Amino acid sequence: SCQAGVTQWIAACSGLLQTAAAQSQCRRMLYGIFQRRKAGQFRLSKSRGGLIQANGAVTQQNRLFYNTSKHLSSKDSLQPSEEKVGAFTRIIEALGFTGPLKYSRWKVKVAALRMYTCCVEKTDYEEFFNRCQMPDTLNSWFLVAQLHVWMCLVRMKQEGRTGKYMCRYIVHCMWEDVEQRGKVMGINSVVLKQDMRSMVENFYAALFGYDEGILSDDHVLAAALWRNLFNRNCEDPRHLELLVEYVRKQVQHLDALSGEDLLLTGEVSWRPLVESNARSILKPLSPVYNDEGL
């Protein structure tokens, strides 16, 4: 009986040892699973924290961008000349082609031709020649015409890509007109070609001078007019004073015109060279046009 009891006790102890070993193995397995789960939760929380931080950064950037846009729209709104275009439009314009415009090209070309016609036909050249003591020649006519063309270019460049396209066609119409007038006057083709080459150089030099003058004070503008319009030959300073006043009031007058009307019609009216109250700027009547822009 004692042997049987010892045998049973050994069997029970071995069972207990196996059970303890199994429990120890299970404990180790559970501990490993717990550690892996804890590490996984740590990595998950870390990645989640990174996502939260990244999301917070994106939210902060969006908030800053929104505030910037709001600040620009409330104080310094983007001009139409700064309009955004797509990548395809930028590519085709970089290749020298014209991208899609706000209006059709033929409408813009018709308006540009009409605007140049207003620069030529609605300007009293005789008054300019008499008051400023300029000779009645083709060059004097061109100098007065380019002054008015420049003022139109300054106004149309504020109308975005469509306005800039219109500016190019206005300049094209001007050179076509100069060439035709030279032929009508009987100027030799070789001499006319040389004169036009000189006019082109003087024209773009005058654009830079006038742009600097309109952005600066009257002294800089008077110097630009003295160099370009008077060919550095003006003995009476009152003539320069008259032209400075004329340019200032005309630019202000053109700014009061509607950009949509200018793009569709090209109708421009000019204020007189001499008037009693040059500081009074009245908004002109809007032109009437049909669906075709005519």
State the DSSP string of 70-102: HHHHHTSPPPGGG----HHHHHHHHTT-----S
Structure tokens at 181: 């007038």
Indicate whether 81 belongs to any domain. Answer: no
Alpha-carbon distance of 194 to 179, in angstroms, equals 11
Residue ranges, the chain, pLDDT below 50: 1, 6, 10, 13, 16-17, 19-20, 42-81, 88
pTM of the shown model:
0.64
User: Does some domain include residue 212?
Assistant: yes
**Token code pair at residue 58:** 């994106």
Cβ 160 vs Cβ 262: under 8 Å:
no
Q: How is residue 36 written in tokens?
A: 């892996």
What's the total number of domains in the chain? 1
Question: Which single residue is written with the structure tokens 């071995």?
Answer: 14
The pLDDT score that the predictor gives to residue 119 is 94
Residue 49 in domain = no
Range of the domain at 150: 24-32+99-285
> For residue 134, is it within any domain?
yes
Span 237-261, pLDDT tens digits: 899 999 999 999 999 999 999 888 9
Query: Is the residue at 162 inside a domain?
Result: yes
SS3 content of the chain, % helix, strand, coil (to 5): 75, 0, 25
Note the pLDDT of residue 293.
Answer: 57
Token pair, residue 79, equals 């001009």
pLDDT score recorded for residue 48 = 45
Residue 274: its pLDDT value, please? Answer: 87
Q: Has residue 222 been placed in a domain?
A: yes
Position 199 in a domain? yes
Does residue 263 contact residue 109 with C-beta atoms inside 8 Å? Answer: no
**pLDDT of amino acid 103:** 73
**What was the pLDDT predicted at 77?**
42
Residue-level pLDDT at 15: 54
Tokens standing for 138?
């083709």
Q: What CA–CA distance (Å, rounded) separates 153 from 133?
A: 27
Give me the residue label for tokens 């924290």: 49
In a domain, 5, yes or no: no
